[in-house]
Amino acid sequence: MKNPRIQKIKNIIFTGLIMILGLILLKYIPMYIWGKNILFDASAHLTITIFIIYVGYLFIEKSKRLKKYYIPLSMSAITIVAIDRIITNNHNYIGLLLGLFISILSIYLTNHKKLNGEIKF
């Protein structure tokens, strides 16, 4: 029997490593090639925000009462970060979508067995 706490810590570590790898590939390498002032590099702010939200969600996922409020607040935080990055002219929609893609892909890759059974189309 696996300890759920150890499994959560492993998921956090693997998700973080995949996000770091994605940021290296889609943020820092393009910045190295085209310069630091590009707008289409992946948004590290968005990726880090989603990572923090994911870590918080892992520890409240059993509580239906907390989950009901956590998800809308999380979406609001992600929206605020995305709008801030566009208003301050640090990213365009491509950079934000790349940050979102890195985050979703890394969370999916670490939880694909659990998610495949829960998501129905």
Domain ranges of the chain: 4-111
Residues 19/52, Cβ–Cβ less than 8 Å:
no
* The pLDDT value given to residue 91: 86
| Full pLDDT tens readout for the chain, 121 residues | 578 889 889 999 999 999 999 999 999 999 899 988 888 888 899 999 999 999 999 888 888 888 889 989 999 999 999 999 999 988 888 889 999 999 999 999 998 877 776 666 5
Measured between alpha carbons, how far is 16 from 35 in angstroms, rounded to an integer? Answer: 25
Measured between alpha carbons, how far is 22 from 1 in angstroms, rounded to an integer? Answer: 32
SS3 for 61? coil
DSSP result, 28-77: IHHHHHH-TT-S-S--HHHHHHHHHHHHHHHHHTT-HHHHHHHHHHHHHH
* The pLDDT value given to residue 48: 95
